[in-house]
């Protein structure tokens, strides 16, 4: 039996691509967004809600409980992210986490079987020197979900663009939003296991990255990027991302290949799995995945 889907952040960049896929697969979808996009293709029931508002959170949980009480499987899909600033981003990630955990409790009360699909990026893998506020917030969220008792999957995505070549085509592997939505759609429709896993794409870890073959970034430029994100542009997600990438570009090529989260190198993946005691699946061949790390604590 197909699951019912509860899609949080349904009108965002990924949500706009995912709603039609769920509809085409015959999956009943409850789409939650601050600004419902009822004109987009796909038969979804929309709920207008700002999940940073506790009353809206409870209203969504109540509505889902009423509509999904008899469903055997409910896929909760978390795509929530406010990109307008660092504090807004942190607030939106925390609000989404709170909503998911409340949905978990409510659906279990209704004898439904919830499982979770959360979209994140390989930024959660980044070491401290190359980390951003976004990566830290999403890392905390993924670990919280892994320890929540909800079965499901966190899909770590590479750089995204409207087309695969739109975003940093010469520096890092990139997917289109449509391709990423198809991966999330597959995860939502699959029968859930008994645990929570983190799925990491198999990217080209031998790719020439950053400034190989060209003059590297100047140290003053790197320092200026770092100072901007600390002083004048503290609320800008782009400033923090640019500073982290400039520090990465200043690193020797061999080190970059080991620590550049955009390439999801095996060493970085293993380090993350061992540190947080989570199960990570390399998304090479879903029929015979390579597992790294350890299962979550009971």
Three-state helix/strand/coil letters over 201-247: ECCCCCCCCCCCCCCCCCHHHHHHHHHHHHCCCCCCHHHHHHHHHHH
Question: Is residue 281 exposed (0-12), middle (13-18) or buried (19+ Cβ within 10 Å)?
Answer: middle
> Does 295 score more than 80 pLDDT?
no
Contacts of 66 (CB under 8 A, 6+ apart): none
* Strand-pair partners of 144: none
* pLDDT of amino acid 210: 43
* pLDDT of amino acid 298: 28
* Strand-pair partners of 176: 161
Written as six digits, the tokens of 201 are 């794409």
> Does 160 score more than 50 pLDDT?
yes
Instruction: Provide mean pLDDT across the span 162-191.
Output: 78
Instruction: Provide mean pLDDT across the span 146-159.
Output: 95
What DSSP character marks residue 152? E
Which domains, ranges and CATH numbers included, belong to the chain?
4-205+261-293 (3.40.50.720), 219-250 (no CATH)
Strands 44-48 and 29-33: parallel
pLDDT digits (tens, 9 = 90+) for 99-132: 999 999 999 999 999 999 999 999 999 999 899 9
> Does 96 score more than 80 pLDDT?
yes
Greatest mean pLDDT among 46-60, 181-195, 197-211, 256-270 lies in 46-60
Instruction: Provide mean pLDDT across the span 142-146.
Output: 98
pLDDT digits (tens, 9 = 90+) for 17-30: 999 999 999 999 99
What pTM, to 2 d.p., does this model score?
Answer: 0.88
C-alpha count within 13 angstroms, C-beta hemisphere, residue 150: 32
Give the residue with greater pLDDT, 1 vs 67. Answer: 67
> Does 219 score more than 80 pLDDT?
no
Banded model confidence at residue 48, pLDDT cuts 50, 70, 90: very high
Strands 290-293 and 279-283: antiparallel
Banded model confidence at residue 217, pLDDT cuts 50, 70, 90: low
Closest by CA to 141, choosing from 261, 22, 276, is 276
How far apart, in whole angstroms, are the C-alpha atoms of residue 224 and residue 230?
10
Average pLDDT, the chain: 85
Banded model confidence at residue 194, pLDDT cuts 50, 70, 90: confident
> Does 231 score more than 90 pLDDT?
no
């Amino acid at each position: 039996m197909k699951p019912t889907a509860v899609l949080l952040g349904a009108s965002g960049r990924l949500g706009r691509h995912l709603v039609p896929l769920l509809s085409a697969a015959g999956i009943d979808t409850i789409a939650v967004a601050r600004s419902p996009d009822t004109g987009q293709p796909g038969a979804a029931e929309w709920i207008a809600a700002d999940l940073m508002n506790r009353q809206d959170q409870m209203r969504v949980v109540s509505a889902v409980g009423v509509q999904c009480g008899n469903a055997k499987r409910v896929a909760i899909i978390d795509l929530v992210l406010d990109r307008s600033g660092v504090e807004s981003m942190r607030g939106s990630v925390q609000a989404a986490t709170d909503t998911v955990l409340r949905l978990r409790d409510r659906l279990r009360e209704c004898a439904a079987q919830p499982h979770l699909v959360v979209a994140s990026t390989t930024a959660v893998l980044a070491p401290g020197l190359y980390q951003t506020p976004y990566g830290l917030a999403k890392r905390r969220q993924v670990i919280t979900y892994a320890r929540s008792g909800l079965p499901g999957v966190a899909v770590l995505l590479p750089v995204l663009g409207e087309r695969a070549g739109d975003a940093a085509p010469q520096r890092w592997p990139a997917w289109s939003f449509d391709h990423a939505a198809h991966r999330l759609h597959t995860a939502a429709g699959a029968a859930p296991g008994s645990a929570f896993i983190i799925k990491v794409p198999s990217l080209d870890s031998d790719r020439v990255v950053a400034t190989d073959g060209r003059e590297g970034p100047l140290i003053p430029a790197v320092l200026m990027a770092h100072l901007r994100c600390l002083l004048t542009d503290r609320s800008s997600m782009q400033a923090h991302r640019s500073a982290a990438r400039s520090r990465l570009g200043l690193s020797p090529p061999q080190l970059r290949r080991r620590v550049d989260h955009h390439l999801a190198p095996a060493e970085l993946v293993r380090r993350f799995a061992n540190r947080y005691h989570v199960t990570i699946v390399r998304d090479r061949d879903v029929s015979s995945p390579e597992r790294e790390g350890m299962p979550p604590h009971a």
